[in-house]
Chains A and B, each alone.
Chain A
Amino acid sequence: MANDSSDFLRSMSIATSGLRAQAGRMRVISENVANADSTAAKAGGDPYRRKVPTFTSALDRTLDAKVVALGRVVPDQSSFRVKYDPSNPAADATGNVKYPNVNPLIEMTDMRDAQRSYEANLNIIGATRRMIQRTLDILKT
């Protein structure tokens, strides 16, 4: 096996895949938060639709291990918020404006969750580095 000598580096690569996936999730969340009040460009149109990140577990053949990857980013099909505001340029014929189906509370809790998972992966990298350091310390005795 090509990877047997670098098992610690494999652990670190797996944790890195977790970091990357969580960072991608963070990007989608920030997109949702930034667009929380985006209305449609033309009158009566649909506004920004909330995006939901998904995770998939994939076998990395070069690492020979199960890594995590950001899957498809799927649109949230729940209904839009509707507000009566005839003066808004995006208002339809009845004077209603559709606002994005983004709930800041859900986005914030999702963000905390992503942050927590990110830190856990960082801890794995730190622990693995300390283990590599211990291995090298044998040389010093």
Chain B
Amino acid sequence: MGLGPDLVAELEAVVGAEHVRTARGDLEPYSRDATPMFRGAPDAVVWPRTAEEVAAVLRLATRHGVPVVPRGAGSNLSAGTLADRGGIVLVLTRMTSILEVDADELLARVEAGVTTAALAEAAAAKGLLYAPDPGSRTVSTVGGNVATCAGGLRGLKYGVTRNYVLGTTAVLPTGEIIRTGGRLWKDVAGYDLTRLLTGSEGTLGVLTEITVALLPMPATTGTGVAYFPSLADAGRAVTAVIGAGIVPATLEFLDAKCIGAVEDYAHLGLRRDAGALLLFGDDGTDDVVARTLDRIGELSTRHAALEVTLAEDVVRSEALLAARRCALPALSRLGTLTILEDATVPRPRLAEMVGRIDEIAARHDVDIATFGHAGDGNLHPTCVVDRHDEDAAQRAHKAFGDVFAAAIAMDGTITGEHGVGAAKLPYLQDRLGADQVALLRRIKAAFDPAGILNPGKLGS
């Protein structure tokens, strides 16, 4: 298709010729993100450096009616950065300044392309904690995290990205640069546009700068593992933990297939004979951490745990968490096409949902491994099949349709943290209902009258 020489020249004038690429070989690497099966190459890739450059690019795109897809690290699992209608992929990875980390105000201000790990390190250097902790933290950008409202391994105690975004600088598709929120915990002037932009998946505006709240760094962290005969047993233990009023920082689970895959990759000495494991952790003062870990251990044992072990030191703790973070890619070693989903149910129904997933898998004759954030009912059922087995891929697709329906029927949702993107769009109305979807579209139109920003995704 192409953009036309005029537009290309205008883009070059805005960001510099070396930051606009249109050759086939330059576009191909931007034709996919971490989502399996979805492909679509843009007509141009553009790397802006400042909010003003972003604004100028968006004004041009609006004038020419060309789609613009914002992209951070491209680690999303919902085809959110798919340029399936061509146009411009706007890559924010040159915007990597950490503008400030303020220990008195407990906040940091960063450009959108800073990786989550870099932000966390900069905060840690001043004795502060950036709480959101997505598994992809070494790669994913803060802009991408805010745009998808990323969750993570500490979600139970600390919540998700949304709870930490104090303010943003965002560029609207029409070219206005707005500042939402600011540096305050309390601020109720106007509609909460900061929250609206958080989780808007690059469909309402392009985030260029983000102010996040930090916390004092907890004195200690501790981690433990409990092995169970089955995932259902583990699920019951989780219900018991939450029911006892314990809110640890981390409460993650892996089923037997995931344990095997992670162990193959990370060689941690996990028990391969267990049907499931719970990885739990907490942070705070020494005695609080010790008490939480002990009580979770106790409750696990009471709920059929085969074995409970606590990590002896930080290194071991980190190794266990790192292993959990890589569950998805480790699972992918089992086949050539790995489809990971992201259903969420109310916490007490976790075990029930796991049972439903097993039934659904059996009915469609596919293997579904499941891991996830047990503490917040967020499951990642994952199906690994042979890329070339069309039929198996179809069966997996159907099975996941049923999984989403089951989640919704349990008052759950079709995505807890990965977002809707293009991949979940077909299921969105089932979750929200027609009226709400219509409202979403009106909001989208208010921000983006020409409909150029990330079309075909949320809000379309």
A binds B: no
